[in-house]
Amino acid sequence: MTQSSLPFTQSEMHPSRWGNPALAGPLPEAARGLVEMAFGLDERAAIEAPAVPACGLGDDVLSALRSVLGDAHVLLDDDTRRLRTRGKSTPDLLKMRAGDLSDAPDVVVRPGTHEDVAAVLALAIEHRLAVVPFGGGTSVTGGLAARRDGFAGLVSLDLVRMKALVEVDKVSMTATLEPGLRGPEAEALLAEQGLTLGHYPQSFEYATIGGFAATRSSGQSSAGYGRFDALVVALRVATPRGELRLGSSPANAAGPDLRQLILGSEGAFGVITEVTVRVRPVPVEKVYEGWRWSSFEAGATAMRTLAQAGLLPSVIRLSDENETAINLAHPDSIGAEGAADCLMITGYEGEHDAVAAKRAAVTAVLEGLGGRCTGEEAGAAWAHGRFNAPYLRDALLDVGVLAETMETATFWSNREALYTAVKDALTAELGDGAIVLCHISHVYETGCSLYFTIATKGDADPLPQWLRAKAAASDAMMASGATITHHHAVGTDHRPWLTQEIGELGASILRAVKADLDPTGILNPGVLIPDA
Ligand SMILES: Cc1cc2nc3c(=O)[nH]c(=O)nc-3n(C[C@H](O)[C@H](O)[C@H](O)COP(=O)(O)OP(=O)(O)OC[C@H]3O[C@@H](n4cnc5c(N)ncnc54)[C@H](O)[C@@H]3O)c2cc1C
């Protein structure tokens, strides 16, 4: 077992902002002018460190937790509890900025082993405590905002100590990782063995292995490496009913695949304590380039052609005309001259020969369909800024601009209708002054995901404004026959739409599994599972 050499060294995020506080800053000058023109500047102060409600747990409960984990791993201080309150959606940030800490946990506990987790769950059952598994805290769907009514208290089960690379099997090319490893920590441990996972969501720097599995995350390189759920071969889970070990062979026909019940279960069925994933050799070469398309439609057709020909690069994304012009992928360049066409980024990762062969084959297809390669500059700019865009959201909130994202997916034949329906719903709700951007973020043979970004002048209280827009867009997704989420998961925010997507019977299956694995309902109450 190899421990991460980076435990606790990465920065904690500010409770009401994204990312490394040292990298956060005001709006870049070029953007400031544009934002002023579009929405006006309305400086808004945020409450920096809102007061945390007192811990409501009795000494008996705290002593019991301490006897299992040790005093050092049962934390009651305000800073820790504030930092373990909710996730990083815009509503989460707005609530924190307004000083609302009503979802703060009573206590933060830090188990170090699977057995510790199991012991905490047993205590939670005994003392009727709600338990919220906490990975990187990057949920954008209210996955960390569990209901506390009916419980004696709320425990944040912080997996930050479980950061080991448990085992590597270089023959089978698998690695077993503990859930608390953040993206860079997991990659650093694997790189020491010449391996990579290749999972790079935009939240990579903070999100964890357990969180990726619990939310069925998808990364920027998932076209090449696969979605996170496709990378998982085995799981170890602590449930209130006992241990589950799933995945004893690369593939099987031993009934329904129970791994799929845990992947995406968002802490409602159990706590994932080990994840075995497929790994690849560290790529020798990584190269990204830009392509221009005369329209979103033309670029989307090219993506579909590549996917259906089995020719997807490691990275492929396509911005619509608005997103291309604003270029949110690279905030420093906002305000740069935009064109009325659409930017596609393609990226290749692997051995030199494989990269060259794939690149040549993709280039031939894209040129044949009318694409114009603009070279590596646009690709390098995207790669350089790929994790930076979220910082911009805080800078926009600071000047009174509401900014948020949402995503969905559908089959190719429905892509355009879905795109139009969601855009229209957002514009109808937010008004013509709102900017609605979209890109195709993930591509499959049969369809793709659409990722929307909105920016608009914030109301005095922007939260209800956003919730109305989000509801309208979610209704439009459902009416269009698309999914409520391609990779952000369900949490509390998408739960009202889940039954529409999976049907009453589907919802009842989820409730039945929950009732079996978590009969007293302590795990993430109110998250994922639709009410009867
Ligand atoms: C700026 C930004 C960009 C993002 N970009 C992407 C993206 O590109 N792709 C993408 O897929 N998502 C993205 N997300 C969403 C988010 O990062 C993912 O959902 C991520 O997988 C969550 O991981 P986490 O470790 O932060 O989990 P958390 O936010 O801590 O938890 C998420 C949910 O999983 C549960 N959970 C966490 N760990 C465990 C565990 N070990 N066992 C059981 N349950 C657990 C929690 O209780 C919660 O319900 C983004 C979010 C932000 C804020």
CA 82 to chain centre: 20
> 177: which residues sit within 8 A by CB, 6+ positions away?
164, 165, 166, 186, 189, 209, 274, 275, 276, 277
Closest ligand 1 atom number to CA of residue 134: 30
pLDDT score for 3: 59
Roughly how many angstroms between the first and final C-alpha of the chain, as a whole number? Answer: 43
pLDDT at 333 (0 to 100) = 47
Ligand 1 pocket check for 132: Cβ under 6 Å:
yes
Determine the pLDDT at residue 2.
64
Report the pLDDT value the prediction gives residue 271, as an integer from 0 to 100. Answer: 99
Atom index in ligand 1 nearest the CA of residue 228 equals: 11
What's the CA-to-centroid distance between 100 and ligand 1, angstroms? Answer: 22
CA separation (Å) from 508 to 426, 505, 511, 512?
31, 5, 5, 6
Question: Which is the closest atom of ligand 1 to the Cα of 159?
Answer: 41
Ligand 1 centroid distance, CA of 209 (Å):
9
Asked if 315 and 224 touch (Cβ cutoff 8 Å), the reply is yes
DSSP reduced 3-state for 346: strand
- 293 CB under 6 A from ligand 1? no
Structure tokens at 222: 């998932």
Token pair in block for residue 310: 């089995």
Q: What does the alpha-carbon distance between residue 466 and residue 475 come to, in Å, rounded to a whole number?
A: 14
What pLDDT score was predicted for residue 49? 86
Rounded to two decimals, the pTM is 0.96
- Does residue 527 have its Cβ closer than 6 Å to ligand 1? yes
The three-state (H, E, C) secondary structure of 274-307, written as one string: EEEEECEECCCEEEEEEEEECCHHHHHHHHHHHH
Q: How far away, in angstroms, is 524 Cα from ligand 1 center?
A: 14
DSSP assignment string, 27-84: --HHHHHHHHHHH--------SSPPPPPP---HHHHHHHHHHH-GGGEE--HHHHHHT
Residue 390: per-residue pLDDT:
92
Report helix, strand or coil for 169: strand
Tell how far CA 470 is from the center of its chain.
17
Local mean pLDDT, 10-residue blocks, the chain (532 residues): 53 91 88 91 90 96 98 97 97 97 97 98 98 98 97 98 97 98 97 97 97 97 96 98 96 95 98 98 97 97 98 97 76 49 96 97 98 95 90 95 98 98 98 96 98 97 98 98 98 98 98 98 98 96
Sheet containing strand 107-109, edge to edge, reads 74-75, 107-109, 153-158, 129-134
Residue 355's pLDDT is 97
* Residue 29 pLDDT: 87
**CA 212–ligand 1 middle distance (angstroms):** 6
